[in-house]
Amino acid sequence: MALERQSTGLSAQPSADSRSTKCRATLQDSREYAKRLSEYSKLNPGVSLFAGGHFENLATYLNQPYDTRAPNFMRTQDDNDMQKAFKFVSIYDLDPSKERKPRHFDSVPDFEVEAVKLTENSSHGHLIFMRGHPSPEWLLSISTRYQIDPEYLQRHLDFWMGQPECFPLPSLPSTMASMVRLKITTIGGSQNPPSSSNKQEHLDSLRSENTAVKQKYKDQLKAHKTCQLGDSILRDCSIHDLCHFSLEQDISIHICATRKSWAGIIWLDHGNPLSVGLASSLSLPVDRKDSWQIRYLPTIQHKPGVALRSRSKLLAPVSSMDRNQSSMPQSASLLHLDYGRGLDRTALAQDPLYALYELFTFAAFSEVQFLNMLDSKMKLELDHLALIRQESTTLSNLVYHQQVLDRHITRIRENLTWIEKTCSSNALERDKSKEGMVAANTLRQDYQHLLERAQGLLEQCNRGMQIVMNNAMVKESREAIRQAEGVAKLTRLAFIFIPLSFTCSFFGMNFAQFGTGNLAIWVWFVVSLPIVTLSLFLMRWEVSSLWRCFSRRKNKTGVVLA
């Protein structure tokens, strides 16, 4: 009935009976989707080449969509109100003849009605934004409607891995033809860093505490009992010094085909503000006692002429609730509200890669800003004065930053591989727009630059570590030389006192002057003086050197030595 009304040009909403019928059909399909995933997760290597044990937790979660989860009593009434009003899904219809305005949904049935219209009738692409921690109902509805490969869900929810000891991720590049994950890095800063007599000790203490908090957060996230719909997800948190830290979050993208066109599924880790939910324990790692001093730096994006545009054209449509809840806002939290403003409408509806251009660009800008921050930290660590002082704390910080860079380089390389593969496949299609080809080449150049920049910083970090270790070796060598000089002084004294002790022992103090013998005391001096002289002579010139000199002189005189 809804499709018939649409074909006749009526704008009326579908009737209650029509919506009820579609919801029952969707529920049946969703249960079948969850059932098949559950059956796959139970396959073991003894009966199938395609074992699915790593899907066990995801299958369990999806097969209990209506199970009431334990409430989070730490939430305030405002948090609970925001939870009920949270709009998990936003849809952009990319039809160029329609207004570029997203529709936000907090109800699965309402989303189903819109999704049916777009997947069955529209000849243009559309984008679906999901935000934060999901609910089983939403995952089953979207996955069933668009026949999403469960691998996409598993890769985004990798903390739910059923059998992590199998090490399934990352997988082969060929398995990521329609899926890609972007890393969004948010830099946090402390306006008034704490003063400490030993800053490095304080920093190491914060890093150790942060490691423990991260592990606890991952354990709670894996249990998913205290998570609520829309809670933001944090992948990692790094503390660079007492002034700055960085938060890492993901955007997972899946391109799937519809009946007449395509759809882009975009899953953001950014949902509710980080001050709400489990992420609040990890989002303020520098100084949790004075969180008002912490702020998240905006992701700076440069576009030609953007600074000269009017203020009204740059404002995102943020609701009053979102504005009040965002005491420390993140730039990425606006992606689902104001997307595609600077893109060509016609190319946006036809080319999936071009439609994702702003997402890749935003991720690239956040990454280059992070690399700039990291570069400034490493310059301080590798300053020539610091290296001359041979501060041992530099090595600790460089090793820490090396691990962070390795993680970012891996993701950048994956993104670049996906872009190049997509560009090569698009090059075979002649109907691609000029804007799409230009955007693809731009992304390839930008991500190649990011990869080279990150690898350059990693090489700089490795060189700095080598310099620090060489300096440590030189310092140890100098210390060893000083110790050897002290031993040499003792040896010189021994060359004097040992011969004297020997002569004293030899004569047994049997001198007439002491009333213990018949020898005169001058005999001791006559014997001791040549012995001490010979000892000093041997100390000054080594016996082996004298022997070599003696041998050369014998050879010159023609004497053959046996």
The residue type at 332: A
d(CA 20, CA 28): 12
- pLDDT for the residue numbered 11: 32
- pLDDT for the residue numbered 182: 97
Taking the alpha carbons of 102, 265, 357, 303 in that order, is the dihedral positive or negative? positive
Q: Give the tens place of pLDDT for each residue, 310-355.
A: 777 777 777 654 554 556 788 999 999 989 888 888 888 888 999 9
Helices vs. strands in the chain: H and E counts, helices first: 18, 8
N- to C-terminal Cα distance for the chain?
Answer: 118
R_g of the chain computed on alpha carbons: 37
For residue 396, what are the CA distances in angstroms to 115, 400, 462?
52, 6, 12
| CA neighbor of 38 nearest in space, from 5, 20, 67, 60 | 60
Look at 22-26, 208-212, 507-511, 547-551 and tell me which has the smallest mean pLDDT.
22-26
Please compute the mean of the pLDDT values over residues 265-293 and round it to a whole number.
80
d(CA 70, CA 57): 18
Look at 57-71, 304-318, 353-367, 539-553 and tell me which has the smallest mean pLDDT.
539-553
Q: What is the mean pLDDT of the chain?
A: 80
* 3-class state of residue 14 by DSSP: coil
Please compute the mean of the pLDDT values over residues 299-304 and round it to a whole number.
88
In this structure, the number of other CB atoms found within 10 A of the CB of residue 93 comes to 21
For residue 168, what are the CA distances in angstroms to 28, 52, 161?
31, 10, 9
For residue 195, what are the CA distances in angstroms to 45, 208, 243, 289?
57, 19, 11, 14
d(CA 263, CA 92): 10
The values of phi and psi at residue 38, to 5°, are -65, -40
Q: Which residue has the higher pLDDT, 197 or 402?
A: 402
d(CA 92, CA 340): 9
| CA neighbor of 42 nearest in space, from 29, 25, 55, 23 | 55
For residue 524, what are the CA distances in angstroms to 261, 498, 518?
113, 15, 13
Contact 76, 153 (CB under 8 A): no
pLDDT > 90? residue 356 = yes
Q: Which residue has the higher pLDDT, 444 or 481?
A: 444
The structure's pTM equals: 0.80
Per-domain boundaries in the chain: 78-134+149-303+325-339, 346-500, 508-562
* CA atoms within 13 A of residue 188's CA, in its CB half-sphere: 26
